[in-house]
């Protein structure tokens, strides 16, 4: 368990640092008012997570330490949206349409609502 935590922590550090660098660069070059850096990071994270998961599924094992480092660690630190997308697609692949709809709707509505509530409460 400790080894897995360290692996995830190392990946998360790298992913978070990359997210910060990309977001900072985009803020310098893009117009204000739209989070282009965040959008790019989220979309890249989804693609990278899917690619890594597919490669480990095909050539190795998704429980391999490198898979943990790159998916949960790196992509999780880079963006949590990649994990959200993965779990959503996994539910669809399992034929769990009601779970998929509930998960997506709850994640979006509750996530935005709780953000707004926290913002309002501590404003």
CA distances (Å), origin 24, targets 20, 36, 38: 6, 10, 10
pLDDT for the residue numbered 83? 75
Q: Where are the domains of the chain?
A: 2-122
What CA–CA distance (Å, rounded) separates 123 from 105? Answer: 26
What CA–CA distance (Å, rounded) separates 53 from 49? Answer: 6
pLDDT digits (tens, 9 = 90+) for 31-58: 776 677 878 888 888 899 888 888 888 8
Whether pLDDT at 30 is above 80: no
């Amino acid at each position: 368990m400790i080894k897995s935590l360290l692996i995830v922590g190392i990946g998360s550090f790298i992913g978070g640092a990359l997210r910060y660098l990309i977001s900072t660069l985009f803020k310098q070059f893009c117009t204000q008012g739209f989070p282009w850096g965040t959008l790019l990071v989220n979309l890249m994270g989804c693609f990278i997570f899917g690619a890594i998961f597919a490669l480990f599924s095909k050539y190795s094992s998704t429980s391999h330490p490198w898979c943990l480092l790159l998916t949960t660690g790196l992509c999780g630190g880079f963006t949590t949206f990649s994990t959200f997308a993965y779990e959503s697609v996994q539910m669809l692949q399992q034929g769990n349409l009601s779970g998929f709809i509930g998960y997506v709707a709850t994640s979006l509505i509750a996530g935005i609502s709780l953000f707004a509530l926290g913002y309002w409460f501590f404003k």
